Each structure stands twice: as C-alpha cells, then as structure tokens.
Structure 1
C-alpha cells in the first residue's frame, strides 16, 4: 500500500537574521512564528551566535557576500511574498540587505536589533548609521523604545516620545513604525503604531495615522525572542494578505499568548513561545 501525496501551498516568507544556538530568538523563533501562522518560512543567516537562556557568549558574522548568495538562492526558487529582517550584525550586512530588498516588491518588516535586554549596544555606530537605507525600504519598522532612541537620536521614555519617534521614522522613509512599549514604565504595555499616508512611503501629504495598542503587562522577565516573534508574526500575516494595521493588531495580541505560555527551558528566564500565538493556524 502506498499513500498518495497531498501537498499544500502556503504563502512563503523570508527571514534575514542571526541564528540563536539556544533556539529562543533569531531565525529559530522566526521560523516557529511563521509556521504557527500557516506560512512557509525561508531563512538567510547573517550571523551565528553562541547563546542560551542566560546570555550571549560569542557572535560570528557571516560574510556579506554569502548573505547575498543565500538571498539569491531563496528568491530564485520561491515566490517570497513577505520579508522580515532581524539581527544584521555589521554595517556591510545592513547595506547588503538594503540593496537586496530594493530589488524586490514584497513588504518588508524591519526589526532593528540594536540593543540587548541588558541595555548593551549590539551594533557599531557605523552599522547603526547604515540602517537609514533599510528604513527607506521598510513597510514597517518595529523598534523597542531603546532602539527607537538610537534610530532617531532622542530619548524615548514616554508615549509622547514613542509617537514622536514613530513620526520621525515615517518621515525618514518607512511606510510605518511600531514603537514597542515593553521597555516603558507602566502596568500596561502600550505599543504605538504610526502609519504614513500611503502605508508605504514617507507620510508626506496627509498627516500620519497614530494607533495605540494597550495590553496587560505579563509578570515575567522571560521575554527572550519576543521582538523576533512579533516581527515574524506581522510578516507572516502580511504574507497571508492581511492589511498592515490588521496584521500589526493581530500580532500584538498574539504576543500576549506567546509570553504568557512561554517556554520554561534552560537555566535562565526562558523564552517566548511563538507556537502559542492565538492567531496561529
């Protein structure tokens, strides 16, 4: 007896990010989130990291030329309908990613992984400066408060600051900016979404739209991988054809479930659980 093949044809998304040896963040979290949303995930690895639930011991960046080769291999074979970027490691890789993505038309979610949970800066000043080219290509940029402060050069400590930073990122060319509120004070987490007039361009013309998402704060420090999972969930929802605002709203709701039902593994705080997304398929 043999089984007949019954293939499925999910939409395809791409993550361009670093590898987390501990499995809680990076491309590992990205692919889990994409799969949970019924999307086939492909991956371009920008760096390998020796890390676990307790911290990062070593980082090895992949040569920018190999990043480009991986990207070309994926694009030549798959119909990629959404992309997200995560840890890009060096100025050369940031610039390479911006150039590669400028060749395509799929929506791009940029998670600017610049500042660790400890507050440590993860990129050189040159790499931080190189992000401007990627911002101009982004459908959505998803910085936390610390990363938004690096990108715009001003402190982000209040909701007003978050809105101002989002407006500045849209003015610099992003279609929209989601400034995450997890690092801000308060019993609730308020994420601020600023959408340009077209949802794709600089916001010139009509005033940008500002939307806030407020959710209870989960009493845990096990949030490793939350930024990766959120940006990947948004990319997956865009790949499924959801409008930007709906995709962000759904993914923000998903994150509460991912944190509440996080993985209790390793000797550190643990990691979020992308497969627990309420919006999973």
Structure 2
C-alpha cells in the first residue's frame, strides 16, 4: 500500500521539538510519507528562539515544485512561513492544486512566547486561509486573525484550540462557515513539555486527510495522538521540552 504523501511547508527547529522535525516524526509515525519545503532555519531550544534565518522565497517554491512535479501530494501542512513574500508565493502555488486538503497552522508565537511572524506576514496569512481546508489557531492566534468569523469570511473550517485557556479542562472547537460543527473536551495533561503541540496536531490532521479520513475523524485521531505524545514526553531540556513519540500508535481509521 502506497503511503499518503504529505507536503510540509514550515520552519526547522534546531531543538527537534517543533517545526519540520516534529512534522516529519508525526507524519512518519502515522504511516505517511513526509516531504518538506523549509521556509526558515531557527536557532531554538526548550527555553526559546534565539535566532531566525528565513529561506529566500524562490528556494521555498523550488522545494515545493521539486516534490510536486515528481512525487505528487495527497495533503499539505503549512506551519511557520517566515515572510509575507513567502506566504503569498506559497498561496499562489498551492492554489494550482486540485482537490488536495490543506491544513494551515498560523504560527505566530512559539510555546515559549517568542514571536515567529511579523505584522506583514500575519496580514499575508489571509491568502493562505482562503485556500485552506482547515486553519488551526490557538487562542491568541485566533484573536489576531479576527476571531471565529474567519471561517465564514474565508469559507474554511477553523479548529479553535483551547490549550492556552485557563482551568483543568480544555476544549477544541471545529467551526465551519455555518458555525460550530463539533467540540472536544478533555482534562488538561499536567506537563510543561508541550513544545510542538500545534505543529504535531496540524501534521497529524493533514496525514489523516491525506489517508482519506473525513475532517472530523482526522481531527479526532490527531487529538488522541497528541495526547498520547504529551503523556510520553521524555522531559528533555530546561524549559518547554518536546513531546514523546507514540511508537505503535494505531494509525488506521
């Protein structure tokens, strides 16, 4: 059986907890084939982001063209973009694809609180939201993008993640153009090692969509995967460490 081909457009995390590294790990463990277009190189660890070097836009697009023209794609996951110019170019290239689900994780602020997108890049996110099947913002990101109305405005679905909320319970809500379609509530897992949760969740959803799951089933499986990864966190680093790798996770529908 040919694995689902998942194109990941995101930045590299030198600490291995988030970004391209988390994306590749997730897609692989869920039975997909990970391909990458790296948008930025970061110097970061569990304590924060010390430096960001954006990859030139033409090189980002060239990476996309290389894999799309040869290997093909079943789903796309977009994470850290790096610049407004790259956001526009990525959106233009992906708009040429037909019937390929796109999961956009609008990375603006890392778990550590470090900013990973400037104002012009955030403005350019509108192009990406207009072509996305699903947008996966956390609470601060959803607010910065204009709130729940973005589902109707861009005719897309939004998974409003509740992990940044208060209390022992967290709720994620799937919002479509017509309103809330489903909500998931779980008890919060008490761990500081949450680095890469957003990247992992979005990549897991994209893999599910690429494997033929419908949107709700893909989200359901991805949430279970992330929760298992949080429980298995190895406790690396002095700050927000990476999650664990759920080897043997039952990835079939």
Q: Would the TM-score normalized by the shorter structure come out above 0.5?
A: yes
Query: Within 2, Cα distance between the matches of 1:273 and 1:250?
Result: 16
Aligned to 1:255: 226
In the TM superposition, 1:134-153 aligns within 5 A as: 134-152=128-146
After superposition, give the CA deviation of every residue in 1:85-106 in whole Å (9 maximum; x if it has no partner). 0000111111111111101121
Superposed displacement of residue 278, structure 1: 4.0
Query: What SS does the corresponding residue of 1:275 show, helix, strand or coil?
Result: coil
Q: Choose which of 3, 12, 17 in structure 2 pairs with 1:19.
A: 12
Q: In the superposition, relative to structure 1, how do residues 189 and 277 fare at CA in structure 2: closer, same or farther (>3 Å)?
A: farther
Deviating beyond 3 angstroms after TM superposition, the runs of 4 or more aligned structure 1 residues are 118-121, 274-281
Aligned to 1:112: 106
Query: Within 2, Cα distance between the matches of 1:269 and 1:110?
Result: 23
Query: Within 1, Cα distance between the matches of 2:159 and 2:218?
Result: 12
Aligned to 1:162: none
Query: Within 2, Cα distance between the matches of 1:274 and 1:91?
Result: 33
- TM-score (normalizing by structure 1): 0.85
Aligned residues: 251
Aligned to 2:206: 235
Query: What SS does the corresponding residue of 2:175 show, helix, strand or coil?
Result: strand
Superposed displacement of residue 263, structure 1: 2.8
Query: Within 2, Cα distance between the matches of 1:277 and 1:19?
Result: 25
Aligned to 1:169: 150
Are residues 1:35 and 2:28 paired? yes
Contact 1:110/1:135 (<8 A) preserved: yes
Which piece of structure 1 moves more, 229-238 or 210-219?
210-219
Which piece of structure 1 moves more, 271-280 or 98-107?
271-280
Aligned to 2:116: 122
After superposition, give the CA deviation of every residue in 1:145-169 in whole Å (9 maximum; x if it has no partner). 01001100xxxxxxxxxxxx33x12
Query: Within 1, Cα distance between the matches of 2:172 and 2:249?
Result: 18
Query: What SS does the corresponding residue of 1:234 show, helix, strand or coil?
Result: helix
Which piece of structure 1 moves more, 20-29 or 248-257?
248-257
Query: What SS does the corresponding residue of 1:80 show, helix, strand or coil?
Result: coil
Query: Within 1, Cα distance between the matches of 2:49 and 2:114?
Result: 11
Query: What SS does the corresponding residue of 2:182 show, helix, strand or coil?
Result: strand
In the TM superposition, 1:36-185 aligns within 5 A as: 36-105=29-98, 106-152=100-146, 165-166=147-148, 168-185=149-166
Q: In the superposition, relative to structure 1, how do residues 274 and 108 fare at CA in structure 2: closer, same or farther (>3 Å)?
A: farther
Query: What SS does the corresponding residue of 1:109 show, helix, strand or coil?
Result: strand
- TM-score (normalizing by structure 2): 0.94
Superposed displacement of residue 274, structure 1: 4.2
Structure number, greater radius of gyration: 1
